[in-house]
Chains A and B, each alone.
Chain A
């Protein structure tokens, strides 16, 4: 049951018929992993902590840098040089001391990701490179854990939620990563600071809806957002029978790192 303080803290949730005391209990019992404590992960982590998601994991090996502060709103100027997962955990604890924040100060790779994601109900991909994005897709599909993908660039963003086996995955749309240097990254091409706020909170909304079991997830639909036009387009995406991981004759049966794709190491060199 909820304590008097919890009933007060979460009153605006409890007032919603879709949430109520039972739904808030589901959030408090929920476990969400955020991979990448940056542009997308920052707003997601702040709001999920405020919402009372009881266990939140944060995975990121990076430290806070001055160029992050234009959009990664969970990190403050005095945090420069601090591990992002530590900086983020401090803010989340200040917002909501009763939630548990697990930190993983490491990059995800084929050798460690399954051991991290298996403790969670839902995963948010807030990474900035294709090696990680494809790895997260593959790990979640193979482990059967639903997750939210998002990518951003300049003034554009796109996001889709994946329920493994039931709805299209990232590889249904993009079977393999682009070669290095084929597609610009945010550090090369730039990104308007408010953009990851919009996308990261769509991802957090999906996590909350999943835990509540309410509404329609963004499955089978790719949401494409353009900030300059202020347009939201939704493209229907069917499961692809030729998908290399969730199709009829999958070629990917175990995790491997996409060595030819852009990785965090490439980004650090730039």
Chain B
């Protein structure tokens, strides 16, 4: 399947669908415990990462904490 991940095309070979957890694993996403996942414009709940499936054509954004500023 072909996805758009953080604005770039990403091809996942030999799979027609994949859970969000599986996708985080497949793409070796850094800090998977702390990434926020937006699927087709909606923020996904972490407790559902094993159950929500991504499919061909989906748009995914991985959003990360950034804590700096004052110091």
Q: Which A residues are closer than 8 A to B by beta carbons?
A: 36-41, 60, 62, 68, 125-130, 132-133, 150-153, 156-158, 172-174, 177-178, 182-183, 185-187, 191, 196, 199, 222, 233, 235-238, 240, 242, 262, 264, 267
Contacts and interface: CB of A to CB of B under 8 A. Distances in A.
A240 B46 CA distance: 13
A174 B38 CA distance: 11
A178 B69 contact: no
A219 B1 CA distance: 32
Contacts of B68: 39, 128, 151-153, 185-186, 191, 196
Contacts of A60: 70
A186 B61 CA distance: 24
B70 A151 contact: no
Interface stretch (B17-25, B28-36, B49-57): B28-36
A190 to B, nearest CB: 10
Given A130-B65, A183-B65, A235-B63, A36 B42 contact: no
A22 to B, nearest CB: 33
A151 B36 CA distance: 15
B45 interface: yes
B10 interface: no
Nearest to A189: B68
Which label, helix, strand, loop or mixed, suits the secondary structure of the B interface? loop
B64 to A, nearest CB: 8
Nearest to B68: A186
A39 B69 contact: yes
Contacts of A242: 43, 45
B13 to A, nearest CB: 26
Contacts of B42: 238, 240
A21 B43 CA distance: 43
10 contacts: A38-B69, A39-B71, A62-B71, A127-B69, A128-B70, A130-B65, A151-B66, A183-B65, A186-B67, A238-B41
B70 A182 contact: no
Contacts of B43: 172-173, 237-238, 240, 242
Interface of B: 6-7, 31, 33-34, 36, 38, 41-43, 45, 61, 63, 65-71
A237 B42 CA distance: 7
Nearest to B46: A175
Nearest to A203: B69
A183 B69 CA distance: 14
Contacts of A199: 69
A185 B70 contact: no
B71 A187 contact: yes
Contacts of B36: 173-174
Given A151-B65, A174-B65, A237 B71 contact: no
Q: Which of A132, A158, A183, A264 has the most CB of B within 10 A?
A: A183
A41 B69 CA distance: 8
A182 B33 contact: yes
A148 to B, nearest CB: 11
Given A237-B43, A238-B41, A173 B63 contact: yes
Contact of A128 (B41, B65, B67): B67
B60 to A, nearest CB: 11
